[in-house]
Amino acid sequence: MSTFAPPVQRLVTELSKLPGVGNRTAQRLAFHILRASNDDALALADAIREVKEKIGLCEVCSNLADEPRCRICQDERRDRGLICVVEEPSDVIPIERTHEYHGVYHVLGGALSPIDGVEPEDLKIEELYKRLAGAGATGEGAVREVVLATNPTTTGEATALHIAEELRSRVPALTVTRLASGLPVGADLEYADEVTLGKALAGRRSM
Calculate the alpha carbon distances from 93 to 17, 72, 98 in Å.
23, 11, 9
Among 11, 12, 15, 60, binds Zn ion (CB under 5 A): 60
Nearer to Zn ion, 46 or 67 (CB): 67
Whole-number Å distance between alpha carbons of 125 and 15: 33
Stretch that binds Zn ion, among 3-11, 17-25, 58-66, 131-139 (CB under 5 A): 58-66
CB of residue 22 vs Zn ion: minimum separation in angstroms?
Answer: 35
Is residue 86 within 8 A of residue 105, CB to CB? The reply is yes
Is residue 16 within 8 A of residue 26, CB to CB? The reply is yes
Sheet with strand 205-206: strands edge to edge: 103-107, 79-86, 145-148, 175-178, 205-206
Is residue 102 within 8 A of residue 78, CB to CB? The reply is yes
CB of residue 48 vs Zn ion: minimum separation in angstroms?
Answer: 23
CB of residue 58 vs Zn ion: minimum separation in angstroms?
Answer: 3
Number of residues that bind Zn ion (CB under 5 A): 6
Pairing of strands 56-57, 64-65: antiparallel
Tell whether residue 192 is a contact of Zn ion (CB under 5 A). no
Tell whether residue 163 is a contact of Zn ion (CB under 5 A). no
Among 26, 30, 58, 200, binds Zn ion (CB under 5 A): 58
73-102 residues near Zn ion, rule: CB under 5 A = 73
The footprint of Zn ion (CB under 5 A) covers 58, 60-61, 63, 70, 73
